[in-house]
Copies of this chain bind each other. A is one copy, B any other.
Amino acid sequence: MRVQNACVPHDFHLNDILAASQRLGDRVRRTPLLDSAMLDARAGCRLLVKADSLQRTGSFKFRGALNKLLALDPQARERGVLAFSSGNHGHAVAAAARMLGCPAVIVLPDTAPQVKVDNCRWWGAEIVLYDPHRQDREVVGRELAQPRGLTLVPPFDDLDIMAGQGTCGLEICEQLSGLAVVPDAVLVACSGGGLASGVFTAVKAHHPQARCIVVEPVGGEKMARSLAVGTPQRNASVPATLMDAIIGPVAGAKPLEVLRRLGTDALQVSDEQVLPAMATLFDTLKLAVEPGGAAPLAAVLSNPREFAGKSVVVVCSGGNVDDHVFTRALASRDLARS
């Protein structure tokens, strides 16, 4: 039996992701797995880029959100849902709720990029802002949800969310198989661990030898520490980074358990490494990717010896970036044009 609401050992396997994939059908976009000879030359390895920035709402979060909403009973959907989010999750829940005709309340930090706030509002969701330096978003969320009977849609610590995000990994495996590529390593940006746990579960089921690596901002290595000690760790403070999508306060218990079982490694990247990675994705693949979404590529480009000659998958998990940050990314790199 699946124990959904306790942080105790539980099952989470490929079958959960296959079920999510069936449930979602073509409501979720099958995003391309891209490559580029120029990018390979720059990275010194064979790179496969999963462009989930092209997912509906501009990030992978739509996969988990829609899977969660589809798994609710119809009465709960009618009462509505609530999400607390650093932005992309809220946007995804708002869009998924609109798609299924269910009310949504989105709780956002007042530090979120304006584009993310506006995106949630656009889908017709009710917006509540909070101060991430003073308030715990989960408490804020629960206080809003209870009187209205709203279902809380957690951002990552939930098996339906993890299964939905895992469909990204399932697509990667199918696409790798079409290319006859066996991956040596798969890198995913990580905050709570929902995407990483889902993607790596799919990847390890198909490629047990693949090295699975979560990528976090320098100064916000809560999952690296959680993997080391075995229990969910918190960031001591909100890290000062442009990677706003991966600065949540705490690692997810269920994702952590999955990531530990799969033998996950961790790498950290700085803004100074992420900005040129964004420019590289613009140059070579014509993708607009947000700082957190470019973190995996930044990790590969800044650890060339670790990945030299290997087949490496990086997930570009989101593309919701403000103009001034994107412009900084373009200005960040020496064009290296002869």
| Chain A interface residues (CB < 8 Å from chain B) | 26, 29, 31-32, 34, 36-38, 51, 53-54, 56, 58, 95, 98, 114-115, 118-119, 121-123, 178, 282-283, 285-289, 319-320, 323, 326-327, 330-331, 335, 337-338
Contacts and interface: CB of A to CB of B under 8 A. Distances in A.
Contacts of A285: 54
A256 to B, nearest CB: 30
B115 A319 contact: no
Contact of A286 (B26, B38, B118, B289): B289
A326 B320 CA distance: 16
A323 B319 contact: no
Nearest to A38: B122
A34 B119 CA distance: 18
B115 A337 contact: yes
Given A282-B288, A289-B286, A326-B330, A54 B34 contact: yes
B323 A286 contact: no
Contacts of A31: 32
Given A32-B29, A32-B54, A330-B326, A319 B286 contact: yes
19 contacts: A29-B32, A31-B32, A37-B123, A38-B119, A38-B122, A51-B54, A53-B286, A54-B287, A58-B286, A115-B283, A118-B337, A121-B338, A282-B288, A286-B288, A286-B319, A286-B320, A287-B288, A323-B335, A326-B330
A286 B122 contact: no
Which residue, A54, A121, A123, has most C-beta atoms of chain B within 10 A? A54
